[in-house]
Amino acid sequence: MNLNKSKFGDFVIVVVFILLICICLFPMMNVFARSMSSPHYLIRSEVSLFPRGFNLDAFEVVWSDSKYTWSLAWTAILTLICTILSLTLTVLCAFPFVYKGLLGRKTLNVFMIFTMYFGAGMIPTFLLMRSLGLIDNPLVLILPASLSIFNVILMRSFFYGIPDSIRESSEIDGAGPFKTLILIYLPLSKPVLATISLFYAVGRWNGYADALLFLRTERRWDPIQLLLYRVQQNLTAIDVTQFETSAGNAPTEAIRMATIVIATVPILLVYPFLQKYFVAGVTLGSIKE
C-alpha cells in the first residue's frame, strides 16, 4: 500500500515538473519560431511553436549591423572583467573572517548583513554616481556592482568549513595570510569559486538596469540586454529598411525576435553544463559555521 502511494506521489511530481517545463519552454519556442518565419505568416499571427516559411533574413539584418555586433562583443568583455574583479574582491573580503581573532569580526558581519536588506535607493545612488563622475562612463557598469554581500557570505561559509588545523599548519611552516589563501584555501574552494563566478557572470550578462539609468547619452557602451530593450522599444539604430516588405510591421517583429534569440543563446549554451554549480551554491549557506 505504501509502495503504491509512493509511486503515485512520484507520478504527480513528474507531471507537475513536466507542466512547469512546458510553461518555460513554450515561450522560448515561440520566440525561436517567430525569428525564423516568413513575414507573410507573422503579419497573420499564424506562427506558434514552429517556424512557417523558414526565413533567416532577420538574423542577417541583425548581424550586419555593427552596433549590434559591438554590443555583443562589449558585453562579453564586460562580463569577463566584472567576473574576475568581483571574484577577487569576494575572496579578499571573505578570507579575513576565518581568523577568529579578527578585530571587529562580529561588527563587520552585522554590517554586511545590514547592507543586504537596506539600500540607499535609486535617486541617492544616481546622485552618488554623478558626483563621482561615472555617468556615461563604462566604469559605472563595473565598479558599483563589483561586490555582492550574498556571495561574500557564501564564500565565507565555505571557508569556515575548512578545518583551522590546515591553516595553522601552514602558518607553522612559515606561510603568511596571502600564501595560505593562495596555496591552501583557493585550491580547496574550486566548487564555490565556480559557483560564485557563474553567479557574477550571469548577473552581468543579463544586467541592463544600471546601464539604462547611468548611460544617458553614450550608446556605444550599451550592453546587449540594454540594446535588446531598445529594440523592443523601437529605439534601436538597426536599419530595418534593409528588411522592409509589404508585410507592414512584420520585419520589425522578426528582427525583435532574432535579437532576443542571439542575446539569449550564449547563456543558454553555458548554463546546462554548469547547472550543478548552481545547485552547490544553494547548499553552501547550510555549511556549519
Domain count, the chain: 1
232 in any annotated domain = yes
6 in any annotated domain = no
CA angle 128, 133, 135 (to 5 degrees): 80
What does the pLDDT look like over 17-27, one tens digit per residue? 899 988 888 88
Place of cell 569576494: 90
How many beta carbons lie within 10 A of that of residue 84, not counting itself?
A: 13
Q: Output b/e per residue, 97-124; b: 16+ Cβ within 10 A.
A: bbeeeeeeeeeeeeebeeeeeeeeeeee
DSSP state of 207: -
pLDDT interval class at 248 (50, 70, 90) = very low
4 in any annotated domain = no
pLDDT value of residue 284? 57
265 in any annotated domain = no
pLDDT value of residue 5? 62
12 in any annotated domain = no
- Whole domain around residue 192: which residue ranges? 66-237
Query: Is the CB of residue 242 less than 8 Å from the CB of residue 57?
Result: no
Here the cell at position 144 is 558599483
What does the pLDDT look like over 116-174, one tens digit per residue? 888 778 888 888 888 988 888 889 999 888 898 889 988 888 888 888 888 888 888 88
Q: Where are the beta strands (DSSP E) in the chain?
A: none
Alpha-carbon gap, residue 78 to 137, rounded angstroms: 13
SS3 108: helix
Predicted structure pTM score:
0.78
pLDDT interval class at 84 (50, 70, 90) = very high
154 in any annotated domain = yes
To the nearest whole number, what is the mean pLDDT of the chain? Answer: 80
Alpha-carbon gap, residue 7 to 15, rounded angstroms: 12
pLDDT interval class at 246 (50, 70, 90) = very low
Task: Report the CATH number at residue 188.
Answer: 1.10.3720.10
Q: Output b/e per residue, 234-263; b: 16+ Cβ within 10 A.
A: eebebebeebeeebeebbbbbbbbbbbbbb
248 in any annotated domain = no
